[in-house]
Amino acid sequence: MRWSRLFIPTLREAPADAEVVSHKFLLRAGYVRQLAAGFYCYLYLAKRSLLKIERIVREEMDAIGAQEIYTPEVHPAELWQKSGRWEVMGDDLFRLKDRWGRSLCLGMTEEEVMTWIAQGELRSYKQLPQIWYQIQPKFRDELRPKSGLMRVRRFTMKDSYTFDIDRAGLDAAYDKHYGAYCRIFNRCGLEFLPVEAHSGAMGGSESHEFMVPAEAGEDWVIECAASGYRASLEKAVTRAREPETPDPEGTGSPEAFHTPGRKTIEEVAEFDGSPATAHIKTLVLVAQGKPLMALLRGDHSLSETKLQTAVGTDDVRPAHAHEIGEWLGAAAGSLGPVGVANMRILADAALEGRRNMIAGANKDNYHLRNVTPGRDFEARFADIREAEDGDTDIASGEPVRRRKAIEVGHIFKLGRKYAEALGLRVLDKNGKEVTPIMGSYGIGLERVLTGAIEQNHDDRGMALPVSIAPFETVVTPVNVKNEEQRKAAETVYQALRNEGVDVLYDDRLERAGVKFKDAELIGIPFRVTVGKRIADGAVDLSERATGESVGVKLEEVASVLRRRIEAAGPRA
Partner RNA sequence: CGGGGCGUGGCGCAGUCCGGUAGCGCGCCUGCUUUGGGAGCAGGAAGCCGGGGGUUCGAAUCCCUCCGCCCCGACCA
Residues contacting residue 52 through CB under 8 Å, at least 6 positions apart: 467, 468, 469, 470, 572
Among 96, 256, 395, 514, binds RNA (CB under 7 A): 514
Which DSSP symbol is given to 419? H
Among 24, 52, 85, 140, binds RNA (CB under 7 A): 140
Query: Is residue 152 close enough to count as binding RNA by CB under 7 A?
Result: yes
Of the CA atoms within 13 Å of residue 376, those in its CB half-sphere come to 26
Closest Cα to residue 489, out of 473, 472, 506? 506
Query: Is residue 32 close enough to count as binding RNA by CB under 7 A?
Result: no
* Cis preceding-peptide flag for 318 (omega within 30 of 0): no
Q: How far apart are CA 150 and CA 163, in angstroms?
A: 30
Q: Using CB under 7 A as the criterion, what x/- string covers residues 525-554 for binding RNA?
A: ----xxxxxx----xx-x------x-----
Among 130, 134, 147, 160, binds RNA (CB under 7 A): 147
Among 8, 21, 38, 212, binds RNA (CB under 7 A): 38
Backbone phi, psi, residue 485, to 5° = -65, -45
- Total binding residues toward RNA, as defined by CB under 7 A: 57
Three-state SS sequence of 556-569: HHHHHHHHHHHHCC
The least CB distance from residue 152 to RNA, in Å, is 6
Helices and strands of the chain, counted as H and E runs: 14, 31
Query: Is residue 36 close enough to count as binding RNA by CB under 7 A?
Result: yes
Torsional sign, CA 191, 196, 202, 203: positive
Among 2, 4, 15, 429, binds RNA (CB under 7 A): 15
Q: Using CB under 7 A as the criterion, what x/- string covers residues 476-505 for binding RNA?
A: --xx-xx-----------------------
Q: Using CB under 7 A as the criterion, what x/- string covers residues 89-128 for binding RNA?
A: ---x------------------------------------
H/E stretch holding 41: strand 39-42
* CA distances (Å), origin 221, targets 7, 199, 266: 39, 15, 27
Say if CB 473 and CB 526 are below 8 A apart: yes
Among 518, 545, 561, 565, binds RNA (CB under 7 A): 518
Q: How many residues does the chain have?
A: 572
Among 460, 486, 562, 571, binds RNA (CB under 7 A): 460
Find the part of the chain contacting RNA (CB under 7 A) among 56-64, 166-174, 494-502, 509-517: 509-517
Residues contacting residue 388 through CB under 8 Å, at least 6 positions apart: 300, 301, 402
The least CB distance from residue 289 to RNA, in Å, is 18
Query: For 299-422, where are the alpha helices, taking DSSP H only?
Result: 304-311, 321-328, 417-421
Query: Is residue 10 close enough to count as binding RNA by CB under 7 A?
Result: yes
Say if CB 293 and CB 287 are below 8 A apart: no
The least CB distance from residue 54 to RNA, in Å, is 15
Nearer to RNA, 253 or 549 (CB): 549
Query: Is residue 6 close enough to count as binding RNA by CB under 7 A?
Result: no
Output the CA angle 207-23-155, nearest 5 degrees. 45
Nearer to RNA, 137 or 353 (CB): 137
Residues contacting residue 494 through CB under 8 Å, at least 6 positions apart: none
Among 22, 34, 274, 467, binds RNA (CB under 7 A): 34
The least CB distance from residue 351 to RNA, in Å, is 24
The least CB distance from residue 545 to RNA, in Å, is 13
Query: Is residue 417 close enough to count as binding RNA by CB under 7 A?
Result: no
Nearer to RNA, 227 or 479 (CB): 479
The least CB distance from residue 544 to RNA, in Å, is 10
The least CB distance from residue 446 to RNA, in Å, is 8
Nearer to RNA, 36 or 567 (CB): 36
Find the part of the chain contacting RNA (CB under 7 A) among 5-13, 282-290, 295-303, 390-398: 5-13
Nearer to RNA, 125 or 516 (CB): 516
Backbone phi, psi, residue 313, to 5° = -155, 150
Closest Cα to residue 189, out of 528, 453, 470, 546? 453
Nearer to RNA, 373 or 415 (CB): 415
Nearer to RNA, 6 or 226 (CB): 6
Query: Is residue 146 close enough to count as binding RNA by CB under 7 A?
Result: yes
Q: For strands 32-36 and 280-287, give the pairing.
A: unpaired
The least CB distance from residue 429 to RNA, in Å, is 35
Backbone phi, psi, residue 435, to 5° = -95, 120
H/E stretch holding 447: helix 445-455
Q: How far apart are CA 364 and CA 117, in angstroms?
A: 62
Q: Helix, strand, coil shares of the chain as percentages rounded to 5?
A: 30, 30, 40
Q: Using CB under 7 A as the criterion, what x/- string covers residues 220-259 for binding RNA?
A: ----------------------------------------
Query: Is residue 30 close enough to count as binding RNA by CB under 7 A?
Result: no
Say if CB 378 and CB 198 are below 8 A apart: no
Residue list 422-451, contact with RNA (CB under 7 A): 442, 444
Nearer to RNA, 16 or 567 (CB): 16
Which residues contact RNA (rule: CB under 7 A)?
10-17, 19-20, 34, 36-38, 92, 138, 140, 143-147, 151-152, 155, 157, 209, 218, 304, 407, 410, 442, 444, 460, 478-479, 481-482, 511-514, 516-518, 520-521, 529-534, 539-540, 542, 549
